[in-house]
Structure 1
Amino acid sequence: MQEHAKPAQPATVAHNRGCCDSLPFHDRRDYDNAARGFIDGFHADVIRRDRDGRAVWDFRAYDFQDTEVAPDTVHPSLWRLARLNNHAGLFKVCERIYQIRGFDLSNMNVIEGDTGLIIMDPLVSAEVAAAALDTYYRHRPRKPVVAVIYTHSHVDHFGGVKGVASEEDVRAGRVRIYAPEGFMEETVSENVFAGPAMQRRAQYMYGGLLPRGPRGQVDAGLGKGTSRGTVTLIPPTDSIVEPFETHVIDGLEIEFQLTPGTEAPAEMNLYFPTLRALCVAENACQCMHNVLTLRGALVRDPRIWSYYLGETLDRYGDRSDVLFAQHHWPTWGGDNIREFLADQRDMYAFLNDETLRLLNHGLTPLDIADRLKRLPEPLASRWYARDYYGSVSHNVRAVYQRFMGFYDANPAHLNPLPPVESARRTVAWMGGAGAVLEKARAEFERGEYRWVAEVVNKLVFAEPDNREARELQADALEQLGYQCENTTWRNAYLTGAQELRLGVRRVGGGQAPDLVRSMTPDLFFSFLAVRLNGERAAGEELALNWTFPDLEAPEQQRFALTLRNGVLTHLAGRHHPHPRVSATMNKTDLDRVAMGRLTLDAALEEGTIQVQGDADALARLFALLDDFAPGFDIVTPPATRMD
């Protein structure tokens, strides 16, 4: 039990109980599908990391969800999904296809070839992937892994690869790795330029800092949460580049359908004609997905997402007996599959088209979100179209952002005051902190939690040390979280409440070593430019040549860097004719610098980097780089941290 968390208020209890009458809880088909094909679970309570014994996955964490009746602090529909996502273990999908669920946020699929195994999407981390494969081996022949397939470029679909295959086997040709075109570029780049901020925001989205319990984190929508093991990556050996490609892998025919720009920039579906089985990757789940994820990313394109789902339905709908994906449970039966794909197609089309219709009538993002509270019937009553992960509210705002940007055309919003200054002036106009608190407490008692959260946030930003304001803001966010059907909203609200009460926990960050090693020098220098403090660098000028003799491609061996006007730019495959300083080092040593295992001073001292010209200028450049704190403030102004 969380000592700081409070019970549900009467308005929240009434809200959650009222939802039971408006949703089809009598439909139990998902319970049957989630349990279908079950063979065995993991034969221990936790999966541990070998080197330090720390648990990377705990199967006991959600034992509190053993009752079907939702507690008052959890939306009944979310409680239903959380219980369905608790089905963990090895499942048979159809002949030659097995699925390991509940070992991580995503599923790992094992496809039996003629002589070996094809592993599809080996989870987030190596430890859980290895445990998943061992669970499979307890019941099926111990054939070697001969291929790995990454369906798309998100970490929960490749990070555990070294738990099922080794770089040595890949280099020797014993294991092939297949991925959609652009996989490596998207995998590395998405989490680099805004990586520190994404990691921090992901703590809110997934509830990683919340205790598991009925007043804390109960689910993550696509699964229970993310494992905390070792993230790994082995680059693909084979890229799927054509819209449709057929390959025979270990005797099994697989047709690949590229779906770029859908749920991920690089993604693909797979069809197994001899098995009449369709894998839709993460393009169709048992819930609404995100057009813009709350952790932050580029806005996705629901129009093209809908188009590819229609193409999948048209091409494979009449030829499939089972549909499975990289999250949740499969769908069996041709009619069910066709209805599922058609509904998912229509869902993303509606979000796109209806938002565009309303914005062309002049409605702003918040106007549209308030007007489109739900999908049209009967789509709104389909469990697989509910707001468990994405939501109608934040998805329609994302569509608006994709087409129109951040500005809603109201000149009053063109150049508003920054949050702290606006908050101070607003609180003063409202009569000061005491008046705000008095009115806000009255609104809280009436159950107006959205308004309380909005108005008291002004007071928290105006007076971040005002304990009464922080507590009332936390109370309002907490009740909003308890009322949420959407897992990511609940996690965000409750994490905000926790940090208002207890302060920000400082947890480690940083990129996984395999991801860092996969960064090209071009990407490294682009991120170096992001880290440059433009204010302090103003007035500095530097022409710098950088050489990587251990790289084969000429365009990756030589770089010309220019520091000027507070920005750092570079050109690949070029050198300045008259540089102020030149640096030479191997890419492998650059990786050590990027991972924080080697400083510039140490590299110079040990001779890892050779410098010609003004070595002090190179040192000054590195001194102008910012380091990003892994736990910056979100629900309080950035300058106020509680240690």
Structure 2
Amino acid sequence: MPNPYDVERTWPDYFLEHRRLTVEQQGTYRCGELPVWTVYCPHGYLGNATIIEGDDGLIVYDTGVNMDAGQVIAAEIAKISDKPVVAVFYSHHHPDHYNGTRAIVDPADVESGAVKIYAWGNFDAERANEFGEILPRQSMGSAYYGGAFLSPDDKHHHGIGTVPSSGAAGFIPPTDLLPGNTTVTIARIRLEIFYTGGEAISEFGIHLPDLDMVLIADEFFTGLPNTHTIRGSKPRIAENYITALERVLDIEPLWLLGSHIMPIQGKQLIRDTVTRYRDATQYLWDQSIRLINKGYTPVELQHALKDVPEELIDPPYTVPMYGTPFTNVPEYFTGWVSWFSGDATDLFPSLPDHKARRMVELMGGVDAVVDAAKDDHSAGDHQLAAELTQLALRAAPDHEDARLLKAAALRARGYREVNPIARSWYLTGALELEKAFDPGDLLRSMLSQLGAAAAPAEIVRGWRYLLDADKAAGVDLTVGLKFTDSGEQITARIRHRVLVVDDGIAEDCDAVIELTAADLETGTRPTVVSGDATAWSTLLGLIDREITGFTMHMR
């Protein structure tokens, strides 16, 4: 049913101004007369590629968010030069920096060694952690923070461009992992590679000393750094951003290029702009630590550090259009202190629904709470209205009026929010409450976009996170797996309700199986080489591979 609580769609003025800057930029821009180009895809600054022309080949720094973007980049490369791409650099392990590769280079050329793909030494491990082990939760979070279900009328953008709602992944694994800071020469272009590790712990920049240029990916944005992403990630280290930006200042380049910015030319302009960005990052980090040491909790930090000081505001850079203080500073508590507030009451709290039922009872019942929320919503306190309806829904999940009122409160809160990511989450939360999409369908759609092809052994190793521990009670099972398509051989062992995977075939296997990667997906009965013919079906029966969506705002 339509939501009876109508909310007028509005935007803060700067939201639309910033959108024009970042979304409406597309095309290819050359850095003066230098053999360097930045390619902006139709999504604005989301996943630019930098093309460097050497004597006998091209170097590509980042390849775009998906195959569609990769095809745009490939078409632009063809206009620039007919030289072959000989090297690709993945600045870090986030998908908007590597998923266009197959459109730009032929996998066969990578396999033959004609094209090298460089990434930092921990790229594979970090990618597996952030977009493998917790991929379902990341997929849901990415949809909420990226505006996947918002109407075009919402004019959503991501602070750095728009996030595509579809598109195939074109990832090719790196061939060369960088062990540390190093200098390489490719196509007679000298590249000084230096670690940054800000937005991603696998991140690096490149200094091109002969061109007086620095390439930096996600430590410098059109927007404050996102030192915490609400879609979910491990803590990001503010000091790494600061150190990366100081490296740029020490180099004093004439050109600064990035994966989410327009090229900046001029030593003084770069010095002034990067200094403010660096200092804004340090300001929020240092002041958070100061207040944490005075006993402030995460919520108190949010209210104490709502903005950076006026002298540090430098549009379009140090504005809350990617990261924002109220989502960054709580992470400095939870990431560096604890999830625990310090009040022993919070050590092992009541379940939210149990607490909500008791509180609603004391407040006069669900209807009384919803009536109070209506008053707050009408008075313009949409946050408090959302909090009251959250309490009501935890006590009475089927209360339709509470659900629709909460949706309206979140929508009103979102329309007032200038930060695109927070705005998207508010508005998507409202759609969820109105049952505008099915969480299961959402999860399946996002998994198809963010997931990437994995080797069979890697898939089985990931099953440790899918093991149904209750079903595995008392099970002691060892199965050897020989993959005839990849040549991999591993042993999967279930004991003490955990799954352990080792390389090679163990001598004590209950069964040895021959199979292919496709058999993992389809559950097709493989060939039993030796041992218990039921071992494979027993193993599969313990793995919880059901894709079940979950709600963010109805719990």
TM-score, L = length of structure 1: 0.80
* Match 1:627 to one of 529, 545, 550: 545
CA offset at residue 194 of structure 1?
A: 0.8
CA offset at residue 399 of structure 1?
A: 1.4
Q: Deviations over 1:245-282 (max 9, x none)?
A: 222211222211122x3211211101112221111111
Residues 1:134 and 2:75 are matched in the alignment: yes
CA offset at residue 136 of structure 1?
A: 4.5
* Match 1:149 to one of 86, 89, 93: 89
* Match 1:445 to one of 367, 378, 386: 378
Residues 1:613 and 2:534 are matched in the alignment: no
Give the counterpart letter for 2:204 in structure 1. Answer: M
- 1:447 match: secondary structure: coil
Aligned to 2:37: 98
Residues 334-483 of structure 1 mapped to structure 2, 5 A cutoff: 334-483=267-416
Kindly indicate whether the alpha-carbon contact (under 8 Å) linking 1:232 and 1:515 is maintained by their aligned counterparts in 2: no
CA offset at residue 483 of structure 1?
A: 1.0
Residues 1:585 and 2:514 are matched in the alignment: yes
Distance (Å, rounded) in 2 between the aligned partners of 1:441 and 1:511:
37
Given the superposition, is the C-alpha separation of residues 574 and 299 from structure 1 closer, same or farther in structure 2, using an over 3 Å criterion?
farther
Distance (Å, rounded) in 2 between the aligned partners of 1:442 and 1:550:
64
Distance (Å, rounded) in 1 between the aligned partners of 2:425 and 2:84:
42
* Match 2:471 to one of 523, 533, 536: 536
* Match 1:199 to one of 101, 118, 139: 139
Residues 1:311 and 2:251 are matched in the alignment: no
Give the counterpart letter for 1:433 in structure 2. Answer: V
Residues 1:276 and 2:212 are matched in the alignment: yes
Kindly indicate whether the alpha-carbon contact (under 8 Å) linking 1:547 and 1:584 is maintained by their aligned counterparts in 2: yes
Kindly indicate whether the alpha-carbon contact (under 8 Å) linking 1:504 and 1:631 is maintained by their aligned counterparts in 2: no
TM-score, L = length of structure 2: 0.92
Give the counterpart letter for 2:48 in structure 1. Answer: N
Distance (Å, rounded) in 2 between the aligned partners of 1:620 and 1:78:
54
Aligned to 1:73: 10
Q: Deviations over 1:104-135 (max 9, x none)?
A: 42112222222332222110212321123214
RMSD: 2.5
CA offset at residue 212 of structure 1?
A: 1.4
* Match 1:176 to one of 116, 134, 141: 116
Distance (Å, rounded) in 2 between the aligned partners of 1:169 and 1:550:
20
Given the superposition, is the C-alpha separation of residues 168 and 126 from structure 1 closer, same or farther in structure 2, using an over 3 Å criterion?
same
Aligned to 1:567: 498
CA offset at residue 474 of structure 1?
A: 0.9
Residues 1:603 and 2:543 are matched in the alignment: no
CA offset at residue 510 of structure 1?
A: 6.8
CA offset at residue 557 of structure 1?
A: 3.5
Distance (Å, rounded) in 2 between the aligned partners of 1:208 and 1:620:
38
Kindly indicate whether the alpha-carbon contact (under 8 Å) linking 1:88 and 1:102 is maintained by their aligned counterparts in 2: yes
Distance (Å, rounded) in 2 between the aligned partners of 1:339 and 1:452:
43
CA offset at residue 217 of structure 1?
A: 4.7
Unaligned runs of 5+ in 1: 10-71, 638-643
Q: Deviations over 1:270-305 (max 9, x none)?
A: 111222111111111121122221111111111222
CA offset at residue 325 of structure 1?
A: 0.4
Give the counterpart letter for 1:497 in structure 2. Answer: A
Aligned to 1:224: 162
CA offset at residue 397 of structure 1?
A: 1.0
Aligned to 1:122: 63
Q: Deviations over 1:501-549 (max 9, x none)?
A: 134332334756996544573x434421111122232233323444457
Give the counterpart letter for 1:310 in structure 2. Answer: E
- 1:292 match: secondary structure: coil
Kindly indicate whether the alpha-carbon contact (under 8 Å) linking 1:207 and 1:217 is maintained by their aligned counterparts in 2: no
CA offset at residue 81 of structure 1?
A: 1.2
% same residue: 28
Aligned to 1:291: 227
Unaligned runs of 5+ in 2: none
